[in-house]
Structure 1
Amino acid sequence: MRRILLSILLIISFVNAKNVDITKNARLADYIKFMKVVNIIENYYVEPLTLDQIIEKLLKGGVSALDPHSSFEDKKSYKSLKVMTNGEFGGLGIVISMKKGVLTVISPIDDTPAYRAGIKAGDIILKINDKATLDMTLDGDIKLMRGKPGTKINLTIVRNGKKIKVKIIRAIIKVKSVKEYTLKNYPDIEYIRISSFDKNVVTSLKMIMNKMRNKKGIIIDLRNNPGGLLNQALGTLDMFIDDGKLLSEKGRDKRNNRTWYAHSAGTYKNIPIVILVNGGSASASEIVSGGMQDRKRAVIIGEKTFGKGSVQAIIPINKSEAVRLTIAKYYLPSGRTIQAVGVTPDIVVKPAKIVPLENSGLDIKESELKDHLKAELKTKKSNKKVINNKKIKEKVVDKDNQLQTAVSALKAIIISKKGE
């Protein structure tokens, strides 16, 4: 870091020595502006900071200001990132992001501590233990939530305008991501729940498809599926689409531009499919639902998805530091992006219990949301617990109006195919 600063200072000195008008060199003028800010902080900030500390803080703030998924990884956070991607860690089982400038749950993962505690997609996390999240970075929030398995964490969330306290015990997150159910009264329909796109999704799906007998249609439930591995999303699409484009990736660097195509071998191209999505469906689940929608291979039912369609790369600076940077976006077969847009279902169906828009924290204007939540921090009243979610079982199918709509739509498709 000091070498970079020294190089900038040498360039400035060289330019001045040559009597060059530096104002005409915009890039050099920006370097000088940066150095002036560093110098002001070093000399006048209320707490004494070393040069390394100042530069590190400026880098963290600057990179994270690009978008919610980019960040500067210092020695400690880079080490944690390696643990998260390569090893086991104690977690809650939720996927989070910054939405409208506040920490928001994309979705809880099935059968994890957060799921069992009743955390839901769209919940705003106001406090982690006793620390407010409003002025923290996404990485900072993640670090606070991660810890040793068996340890306790307290979250204060805002849901539908109400503040709720939730106690969760961290655990090693091991999830069976693909489950199949036989729907009561609908024996000819295969219901498949995919809770996340881990490394076993395609293999599990193939096992289910190969053993299916007397099934006339499939419902794939991607609600509250936060995403996962790209190759599993592509493999899922390839199982049901026999030719043509599946997905494209485009960025500034043409070396990052790629397009994936379907293969005809092993394709289940004739069986009717309905896919369920909601606001907790993100990333890989949007690639699958959006791709199937574009190729007219499935009917999409539910609510608009989250809108996470960007690609991040971990670029090392040295052995102990790196930059996590958004380098590209994904594009569906039609050429549209899902980043910050999401996938709009063919048939929009709200959950059975519809909360009025004016009562939902997420429906407050972005400019007003933080002030609203700061006011919430000052109030002490909150519910003591959250009612646990229930797994989808045969006996509650009739109470799930989104699933019921999917069944009706699928049966209509099956009937129409008989008449062809």
Structure 2
Amino acid sequence: MSASSSFRPAPRRLRQLAVSVPLSLVLLGGGVPAHAEDARQGATPTSSSESANGLPLEELRTFAEVFERIKRTYVDEVDDRTLLKNAMRGMLAGLDPHSAYLDQDDWQDLRENTDGEFGGIGIEVGMEEDGQLTIIAPIDDTPASRAGLQPRDVILKIDDTPMEGLSMTESVKLMRGEEGSTIRLLVLSEGADMPREVVLKRAIIKSSSVSQRLLEPGYGYLRVSQFQSATGDEAKRALAELREESGDVALKGLVLDLRNNPGGLLSAAVEISDLFLTSGRIVYTEGRLPDSELSFSARAETPAGDTPLVVLINGGTASAAEIVSGALQDQRRAIIMGTESFGKGSVQNVMPLGNGDGLKLTTALYFTPNGRSIQAEGIRPDVEVVRGRLERDTRRDFSVREADLDGRLDNANGDSSTPSSKAPDSPVVAESDYQLGEALNLLKGMNVLGRSAALKATLPATSEQ
């Protein structure tokens, strides 16, 4: 019997419901109480508020009543399947912010985010203040780059859907689709008088979660934007490229940027931590079930060696990114710099359901090597540096000093031919990213003082959590 036939004329309504639900719901319509039936069979009577298997009868009656009233009196007609799915969503949403019911679209999005692969056209987009969907950059060797799409191009329409009023999330969902399917974009290029239509075929796009560059000779920068299935391998390649780019100058220091990294796969966090650690525990988890209790340790081989390391974090650093930060902090492998992290210390398992949907359920909490739970606490940086930027002062300094005067006497200890009023240049890195500039300065200081001395001077006052 279908669920839709379960709620018709009142006297038979709840008896019909029992056909498709557990036995404990049979008596919601006012039949023989469960404890009375148990008493006939010589069983120990149960509470009148609970069924034989412990389910609360009063709440189940209320659920059935709410279900029926919505069906009968809500302003729009709602089918049973929608109501039951919404009930399951609400059941999970009431547990914690990270447990959720995933329909097939949500399930697909989650897989794409963790795998780093999706059907699309290969562009990075952003939303301007005026609400225009604008291309930030096309990804190399994708349908978008081959079609000649350029940064600053504005997307006015996707197929027959105007972009006006749509969020960026809605717009991105429209651009994604099956490999080989066709998509039409109405694009207005910067400086053009009229928009043009571009027809593309979607392809499998692989998004990279790791990027790298040299900040200065001998000082590298490694950015991890999220933790996907390929993040560990990408980071290994990035480290190798940094060493190659550095050439004859050995890497003297490395900045690992985890700011605004929302997390991802636990396995990827372990792999990234293992790039910098040669021994010891990385993370462990604890939950109600035995299989939720796991522990991960570092292996002896490490491509990063003992290169001095500074890790940048902020309030957007969460989950798997906090695992990495906590492991490197507890093992005193790195100095953590920035602002306090988000504080998501729970582990979610994703489970497929028989109808093709999925269940994302919090099953454990994770702990750093020293046994700290990050849940609702976060990682506190060893060196707190708030976000900011330096601005070069271009105003002329009209103050005059002795060294600027014609005919002055030179300093007896050396040449003073260079006027003293010339100010040194500001660091280029710090002008655009103050936190990154401070991380670079700290790495330079570690090379001057020695890594152990720098750690000793920096960590004791701030490492207690």
Relative to the length of structure 1, the TM-score reads 0.66
Conservation of the 8 A alpha-carbon contact between 1:226 and 1:282: yes
Counterparts of 1:230 and 1:52 in 2: how far apart (Å)?
34
Counterparts of 2:273 and 2:251 in 1: how far apart (Å)?
20
| Greater displacement, 54-63 / 19-28 | 19-28
Q: Does 1:403 align with 2:436?
A: yes
Change (3 A) 1:63 1:419: closer
Which sections of structure 2, spanning at least 5 residues, go unmatched?
Answer: 4-18, 40-44, 126-135, 145-150, 153-162, 177-182, 187-201, 391-426, 454-465
Conservation of the 8 A alpha-carbon contact between 1:110 and 1:195: no
| Greater displacement, 299-308 / 28-37 | 28-37
Tell me the SS of whatever aligns to 1:72: strand
Q: Does 1:148 align with 2:164?
A: no
Q: What is the CA-CA distance between 1:395 and the residue it aligns to?
A: 4.5
Q: Which residue among 180, 204, 216 is the counterpart of 2:252?
A: 216
- Aligned AA for 1:27? L
Q: Which residue among 214, 222, 241 is the counterpart of 1:182?
A: 214
Q: What is the CA-CA distance between 1:173 and the residue it aligns to?
A: 5.9
Conservation of the 8 A alpha-carbon contact between 1:293 and 1:300: yes
Tell me the SS of whatever aligns to 1:47: coil
Q: Which residue among 65, 68, 71 is the counterpart of 2:94?
A: 65
Tell me the SS of whatever aligns to 2:312: strand
Conservation of the 8 A alpha-carbon contact between 1:111 and 1:175: no
Counterparts of 1:32 and 1:291 in 2: how far apart (Å)?
49
Query: Alignment length, in residue pairs?
Result: 331
Q: Whose helix fraction is larger, Structure 1's or Structure 2's?
A: 1
Conservation of the 8 A alpha-carbon contact between 1:89 and 1:146: no
Q: What is the CA-CA distance between 1:337 and the residue it aligns to?
A: 2.4
| Greater displacement, 6-15 / 338-347 | 6-15
Counterparts of 1:223 and 1:75 in 2: how far apart (Å)?
31
**Which of the pair has the greater relative contact order for Cα pairs under 8 Å at 6+ separation?**
1
Question: Counterpart of 1:23?
Answer: 49
Q: What is the CA-CA distance between 1:247 and the residue it aligns to?
A: 0.5
Question: Counterpart of 1:414?
Answer: 447
Q: What is the CA-CA distance between 1:246 and the residue it aligns to?
A: 0.3
Relative to the length of structure 2, the TM-score reads 0.60
Deviations 1:245-292 (A, max 9, x none): 100122222211101011113364522111112223222222111211
Alignment of 1:246-395 (within 5 A): 246-266=282-302, 268-352=304-388, 395=428
Change (3 A) 1:259 1:61: same
Which structure: larger Rg? 2
Conservation of the 8 A alpha-carbon contact between 2:389 and 2:430: no
- Aligned AA for 2:231? V
Question: Counterpart of 2:267?
Answer: 231
Alignment of 1:6-21 (within 5 A): 7-10=23-26, 12=28, 13=31, 15-16=33-34, 18=37
Conservation of the 8 A alpha-carbon contact between 1:148 and 1:171: no
Counterparts of 1:250 and 1:257 in 2: how far apart (Å)?
5
Counterparts of 1:143 and 1:84 in 2: how far apart (Å)?
16
Conservation of the 8 A alpha-carbon contact between 2:252 and 2:307: yes
Tell me the SS of whatever aligns to 1:197: coil
Change (3 A) 1:296 1:310: same
Change (3 A) 1:239 1:36: same
Change (3 A) 1:343 1:152: farther
Question: Counterpart of 1:205?
Answer: 235
Question: Counterpart of 1:120?
Answer: none
Q: What is the CA-CA distance between 1:6 and the residue it aligns to?
A: 5.8
Counterparts of 1:245 and 1:9 in 2: how far apart (Å)?
48
Q: What is the CA-CA distance between 1:303 and the residue it aligns to?
A: 1.8
